[in-house]
Structure 1
Amino acid sequence: QATMAEELRTVPVAGADGGLDAAAAIDRILAAITLTRRRVGPASGLIACVHDEDGVRRQRLLPLPVTTAGAALPPLTNEPPATVAAGVAEHFLFHQLLALLLRSIRVENRQRLMQMENALHHLEQGSDELARQRNRLRQEEIVEEIEVITGIRGGMH
């Protein structure tokens, strides 16, 4: 889920429902971010809420960190700097959101795998117990058959 401060409020945007939905979710999130930034201005920040190995946490995506070490010469581009910056920012957000979504999905899948392994272990224990009960009942049947056979033979003498 991504949120943007909008006049001291947040704008929730639904995240991905699963790994196959990640790209569509990112497109949905980027569209919501673009729409909101047009309303409140490009200086607004962006914080993503994500569930990963460290639990549920927030990660600031915008504004981008300002670096003090810069190149001596500005980059040479064929487009105006604002257009290039907007394109770079969109690609940056796309890849940051993709990384966050995939990390969250990985954690969710790991939790599901652990639950399935626990269920499998429980089923194996139940299967073992049923096998022991079956063997015990079969042994009781064999003992009864032996008693009947020996009783019949003992009664015949």
Structure 2
Amino acid sequence: MSQSRELQLRITQMEEIRSILNAMKNLALIEIHKLTHYESAQSLSVTNIEHAAQDFLAFHPQPIVKDQTNVIAILIGAERGFCGDFNEKLISFLSSGTYSGIIAIGTRLCNRLSDHPLVIAAINGANTAEEVSTILNQLIDAITAIPSESTDSYQLNYCAPSFKLTAIYHDHRSSQISQRQIVPAFSPQVQKTSYVGNAPILNLKPTQFFSELSYHHLYAVLHEIFYLSLLAENQQRLQHLEGAVKHLDDATVNLQRKSQIYRQEEITEEIEVILLNSENL
């Protein structure tokens, strides 16, 4: 097979790879567009819950949970590849804090932390926004299974946990890794906020209402964090794929130039052979 023919086959293969990368890039764009709307709505929902908590705590103060040194980190990584050093940055961030346990989310992140002594749970991550709720149910089950000092279940002692839960994730808004305490649900500053107005009318006992509100806040915040992380993951994947497509385009142009040169040389050789044969006749 001639060199020009071999180069043409390589060009065809690279064009096929480029079409696959373009399809992946379009999927990332669709997911980014969808997650942008989801994250905006979820952020508003979290804000409304926190405002309701401020109103409630102003008239029904709850015991302030003592500061806990037992901190469990929820590390939210990538489920798929083509997103650069997304997981490596999260692992590096762990060295900046002291944790008593780690809940890793994302298959690729879990694989990198498979030998880590602090990992207490490994959960598959979400590929799309529609999978977030399913993953969160598994995460809540993992949190519930964490033993507490006073009870056998974390959920039964929700308002007075014996540990802190901190989420570590990529935040697309700052393009950096963020750390956010999600349990206890409301900081002492929120509980001390003064409020002027009428007391909220409750259909539940204050302690029961606060417990339910805290649980809903946890679920809403986790949704928001997962949307932020998945949005950052897809943005990084889009950037990575665009770089790969550009590299393929540059390589294809170079191969096409080489193919033209080789083809010209082959045509010249064929003409020389024809002229030599005609002289022999």
- Give the TM bin, normalised by the shorter chain: 0.7 to 0.9
Distance 1:12 1:130 in 2: 48
Match of 2:181 among 49, 60, 76: 60
1:75 maps to which residue? 200
CA contact (8 A) 1:43 1:63 kept: no
Alignment of 1:1-150 (within 5 A): 8-10=70-72, 11-15=101-105, 17-18=125-126, 19=128, 20-34=130-144, 35-36=153-154, 38=156, 42=160, 45-53=164-172, 54-61=175-182, 62-65=184-187, 66=190, 68-150=193-275
RMSD: 2.9
Any idea what the Cα deviations from partners look like across 1:106-156, whole Å, max 9, x if unmatched? 111222222222222222222222211221111112212222333444556
Q: Which runs of 5+ in 2 are unaligned?
A: 1-66, 73-100, 107-124, 145-152
Q: What displacement does 1:81 show?
A: 1.7
TM-score normalized by the length of structure 2: 0.46
Q: Answer 1 or 2: higher relative contact order, Cα 8 Å, separation at least 6.
A: 2
Report the TM-score when normalising by structure 1: 0.76
Could you tell me whether the CA contact under 8 Å between 1:22 and 1:98 is conserved in 2?
yes
Percent sequence identity is 26
Q: Which moved more, 1:34-43 or 1:54-63?
A: 34-43
Which segment drifts farther, 84-93 or 117-126?
117-126
- Which amino acid letter does the alignment assign opposite residue 107 of structure 1? A
Query: What code does the residue aligned with 1:8 have?
Result: N
Tell me: CA distance 1:106–1:132, structure 2 relative to 1, closer, same or farther (3 Å).
same
Change in 2 beyond 3 A, CA 1:13/1:71: farther
Judge conservation of contact 2:154–2:161 (CA < 8 Å) in 1: no
Q: 1:93, 1:129 → 2: CA distance?
A: 54
Aligned CA distance change for structure 1 residues 26 and 6 (closer, same or farther; 3 Å): farther
Could you tell me how far apart the structure 2 residues matched to 1:90 and 1:124 are? 51
Which shifted more, 98-107 or 109-118?
Answer: 109-118
For structure 1, the residue ranges without an aligned partner over 5 or more in a row are none
**Matched residues, number:** 152
1:140 match: secondary structure: helix
